[in-house]
């Protein structure tokens, strides 16, 4: 070792580049490593002193060496982020988050404050895309208001997992409706059948102590006209939102809207039952429409004004149908027909919790002050509704309809 002369700077740089190029083949011969271990090896190539930091210049060099493994849009974003660091350094954890698609809460702000502009053409102008690529691009423009997020989503989306939540909920709702239709021998205005409320899934004020009914009522619909619109909205709005924001976040908005809907009925329309998934559907749709309005200039979906008008007309018609049915002479007096207040509970969730979720694509919700404010408001409402259900019916001497 000692008898060989020390290599010159140029030779050392060349050897360093060769080691980086050979890094991936060597990794293939070893047992699979965790993704962060892979990035640690790369990071150490540019941080021989183990300081935990590399300069943005070295980070750019690393991106150049890994360009064949990065999607072009994502590479642009990472280069822009490198230029945004005023101190000229990137720490190891930021590096891992970036290379592993774990975007920190400050990611978008760092991009916007960067010195380098994203110079490539807009995603909408790209040609030669296959059907699946056009579909993903369409979803990006339907749901995301910023080009930087649209490009990131376009390059990151793998359809794994698929949008299973909304599809599963929709299939279950259709299956329960068909089962009830066959058993009651009625598909239109099922809710008018004398045996309709005997189902153990329906929320009934006399049976409000059975907690599962505050959620399971979504699988019972007033009729095919009720189910049809909810299914269409769930698939046209819910599925694209789930493709972008993930099943966890969309399920959170949907379930929160469902629970808020039944609790709102128990507080504001105390003698009425509840059926249908409108609470969850209206939470998703109202959140989506509010997000479009709040980011009007950034949303590039086609015919957005016309489509918003159509969505609002459909929601208004469904809400009008629910109001009419609520005050229509009941088929099982003295119990009234199902309440329409669940729709309003869903809208309230959509324009609060839902908007915060949709406005923060891939950002940490726990870092958003508005998120905690709306979570606190939702928690207070749930606790209030629980105590209301325990005490108010007795204190107010509410005359409830007999159990079904």
Token pair for residue 230? 């909810």
SS3 235: helix
Q: 193, 226, 245, 343: which one is catalytic?
A: 343
Provide the sign of the torsion angle of the four alpha carbons 11, 12, 15, 21, taken in this order: negative
> From CA 343, how far away is CA 257, in angstroms rounded?
9
Q: Which of 293, 109, 119, 235 is nearest to 301 (CA)?
A: 293
Q: 84, 277, 278, 286: which one is catalytic?
A: 278
The alpha carbons of the chain give a radius of gyration, in whole angstroms, of: 27
User: Do residues 118 and 77 lie in contact, with contact meaning Cβ atoms separated by under 8 Å?
Assistant: yes
Burial of 158 (0-12, 13-18, 19+ CB in 10 A): exposed
CA dihedral 107, 109, 115, 118 (to 10 degrees): 70
CA 287 to chain centre: 10
Contacts of 192 (CB under 8 A, 6+ apart): 186, 331, 337
User: Do residues 91 and 54 lie in contact, with contact meaning Cβ atoms separated by under 8 Å?
Assistant: no
Q: 198: which DSSP letter?
A: G
Residue whose pair of structure tokens reads 């709702």 in the numeric block? 173
User: Do residues 308 and 322 lie in contact, with contact meaning Cβ atoms separated by under 8 Å?
Assistant: no
Token pair for residue 175? 């299956």
> How big is the chain, counted in residues?
404
Token pair for residue 300? 């590039």
Any catalytic annotation for residue 85? no
Any catalytic annotation for residue 343? yes
Number of Cβ atoms within 10 Å of the Cβ of 130: 7
Contacts of 302 (CB under 8 A, 6+ apart): none
SS3 203: strand
Residues annotated as catalytic are: 278, 343
């Amino acid at each position: 070792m000692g008898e060989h002369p020390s290599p010159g700077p140029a030779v050392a740089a060349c050897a360093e580049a060769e080691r980086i190029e050979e890094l991936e083949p060597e990794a293939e011969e070893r047992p699979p490593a965790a993704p962060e271990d892979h990035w640690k090896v790369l990071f150490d190539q540019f941080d021989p002193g183990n300081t935990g930091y590399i300069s943005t210049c070295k980070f750019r060099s690393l991106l150049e060496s890994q360009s064949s493994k990065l999607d072009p849009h994502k590479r642009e974003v990472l280069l822009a982020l490198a230029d945004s660091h005023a101190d000229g350094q990137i720490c190891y954890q930021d590096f891992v988050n970036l290379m592993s698609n774990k975007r920190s809460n400050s990611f978008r702000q760092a991009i916007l404050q960067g010195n380098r502009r994203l110079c490539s053409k807009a995603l909408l102008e790209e040609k030669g895309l296959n059907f699946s690529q056009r579909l993903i691009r369409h979803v990006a423009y339907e749901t995301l208001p910023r080009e930087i997020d649209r490009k990131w989503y376009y390059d990151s989306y793998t359809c794994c997992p698929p949008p299973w939540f909304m599809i599963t909920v929709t299939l279950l709702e259709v299956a329960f409706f068909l089962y009830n239709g066959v058993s009651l021998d009625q598909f239109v205005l099922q809710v008018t059948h004398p045996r309709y409320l005997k189902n153990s899934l329906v929320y009934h004020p006399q049976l409000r102590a059975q907690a599962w009914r505050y959620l399971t009522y979504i699988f019972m619909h007033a009729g095919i006209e009720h189910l049809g619109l909810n299914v269409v909205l769930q698939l046209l709005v819910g599925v694209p939102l789930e493709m972008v924001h993930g099943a966890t976040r969309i399920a959170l908005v949907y379930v929160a809207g469902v629970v808020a809907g039944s609790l709102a009925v128990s507080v504001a329309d105390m003698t009425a039952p509840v059926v249908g998934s409108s609470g969850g559907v209206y939470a998703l749709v109202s959140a989506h429409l509010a997000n479009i309005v709040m980011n009007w200039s950034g949303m590039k979906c086609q015919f957005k004004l016309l489509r918003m008008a159509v969505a609002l007309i459909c929601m208004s018609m469904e809400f009008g149908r629910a109001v009419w049915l609520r005050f229509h002479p009941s088929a099982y007096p003295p119990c009234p027909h199902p309440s329409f207040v669940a729709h309003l509970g869903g809208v309230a969730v959509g324009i609060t919790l839902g908007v915060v979720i949709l406005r923060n694509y891939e950002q940490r919700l726990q870092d958003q002050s508005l998120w905690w404010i709306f979570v606190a408001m939702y928690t207070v409402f749930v606790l209030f509704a629980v105590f209301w259900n325990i005490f108010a019916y007795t204190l107010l001497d509410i005359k409830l309809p007999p159990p079904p």
